Amino acid sequence: MDESMRLKNSRTIHQIIKDVLRGSAKDISQTDLNDLIKTAVWKSDKDNKSVQRFMSQMRDRHTQSGERFEFIVVENDLSQKVGDKIEYPEVARQLGKKIDISYYLNSVVSLCAHFINYEDIYQSSSEAMLEALKKLKDANKAKHNGVSGNDKADAGVMDEDDLDEEDENKIDEDEVLKIRDALAQKSAEKWVRGYIKELHTDKQEESIRLKLITLLAEISKIDVGYRDRIYKLVTKPGKRKPKAMTLEKYILAYIQENECALLADLQSIWYKMVGLKTTCYWMLSKLQDDKKDN
């Protein structure tokens, strides 16, 4: 971050942070799995949600209560809960699972957000500030009502009669500043996490697209006409999703008629790339048809 203060620096703080995160993501993805191993102790009576969730799924490979075990955090498209992403290192190696870059970059999220939380786009709205202040006042009131007599002084709670108007305003101003800073930091952290997720998503899509293009090159040796029809859909992300349903049907029909193994592979990869979008389009279309029928 020292670069932002150099005279010859031409990048904004946001650009510098993006470069830092991009470089960190690349470094982690190339790091040996052994260097990413973490350890934890599972205790049946301890409320560690992530560890408890992981252990509940192990069954035959269940760690004994009180025993320390090694784990890594891997990608899981079906769940964002850490407990569903924990895996034993040897299992991750055997299954070829990829690490969850977002998890391993979590330690830099707060630091990166700290450098940009002062910007206007991260400042909270008046409504959010009022809501946060109301929660604070309600909490203070509940705390005040829950402590009585001489215990108030020991608990750091002051009687309302002991506060004059000037002291009350001063306390409110300090609390407002703390709340504003906390909300701005939270908003900035949300942006940082979102950018890390974009890096991960873009990398996945690019990897799938490269596989698709490789398959298309092989398919061209079999059927040049077919290859030309779908090449543009694969190489132009902006056009592939709206035509996902039509393309999927075309591939399926071609496989059934010609028993083309290469196209079967293409279909499998295509499902991973646009399967979810295709399902969404189908569901929306189905709902619209049902409404018309009713």
List, for residues 226-269, the tens digit of each pLDDT value: 555 555 555 555 544 444 444 555 555 555 555 555 556 666 66
**Secondary structure class of 70 (helix, strand, coil):** strand
- Its sign, for the CA torsion 107, 112, 118, 119, is negative
As given in the structure block, the two tokens for residue 145 are: 């009502």
Among 123-137, 180-194, 199-213, 229-243, name the most confident range: 180-194
* Residue-level pLDDT at 185: 93
Q: How is the chain split into domains, by residue range?
A: 2-112, 125-188, 220-293
Give the model's pLDDT for residue 125.
Answer: 87
pLDDT in tens, 84-138: 899 999 988 888 888 888 888 888 899 999 999 999 999 988 888 888 888 877 8
Mapped onto helix, strand or coil, the DSSP state of residue 200 is helix
Reading phi first (left if > 0) and then psi (alpha if -120 to 50, else beta), residue 79 is in beta
Question: 1.10.132.60, 1.10.10.10, 3.40.50.300, 3.40.50.2300: which CATH number matches 2-112?
Answer: 1.10.132.60
Q: What is the largest CA-CA distance in the chain?
A: 89
Q: What is the mean pLDDT of residues 219-227?
A: 58
Burial of 151 (0-12, 13-18, 19+ CB in 10 A): exposed
pLDDT confidence tier of residue 188, bands split at 50, 70 and 90: very high
Rounded distance, CA 88 to CA 92, Å? 6
Nearest to 195 by CA among 15, 46, 9: 15
Nearest alpha carbon to residue 200 among 272, 101, 277, 276: 101
Tell me which of 31-35, 136-140, 161-165, 194-198 is least confident.
161-165
Task: Give the residue among 23, 45, 17, 34 at the shortest CA–CA distance from 110.
Answer: 17
Query: What's the chain's average pLDDT?
Result: 72
Residue whose tokens read 């040796």: 221
Question: What's the pLDDT at 220?
Answer: 59
Rounded Cα distance, 240 and 268, in Å: 16
Residue 266 to residue 274: CA distance in whole angstroms: 12
SS3 content of the chain, % helix, strand, coil (to 5): 70, 5, 25
Q: Find the mean pLDDT for residues 269-281.
A: 57
Residue 30 has pLDDT above 90, yes or no: no
What's the pLDDT score for residue 101? 86
**How much is the pLDDT for 163?**
44
* Secondary structure E strands in 20-82: 38-41, 68-73
Are the CB atoms for 70 and 38 separated by under 8 Å?
A: yes
Question: What is the pLDDT at residue 239?
Answer: 45
- For 156-239, where are the E strands, in sequence order? none
pLDDT computed for residue 167 by the predictor: 46
Across 58-62, 103-107, 141-145, 147-151, the highest mean pLDDT is recorded for 103-107
- The CA-atom distances, in angstroms, between 277 and each of 81, 185, 237 are 23, 33, 13
Lowest mean pLDDT: which of 16-25, 68-77, 177-186, 223-232? 223-232
Q: Judge whether residue 70 has pLDDT over 80.
A: yes
Of 1, 6, 19, nearest to 115 by C-alpha is 1
Give the distance, in angstroms, between the CA of residue 208 and the centroid of all CA atoms in the same chain. Answer: 20
Across residues 34-42, what is the average pLDDT? 89
Pick from 82, 59, 60: which is nearest to 71 by CA? 82
Indicate the pTM of the whole model.
Answer: 0.52
Amino acid letter, 220: S
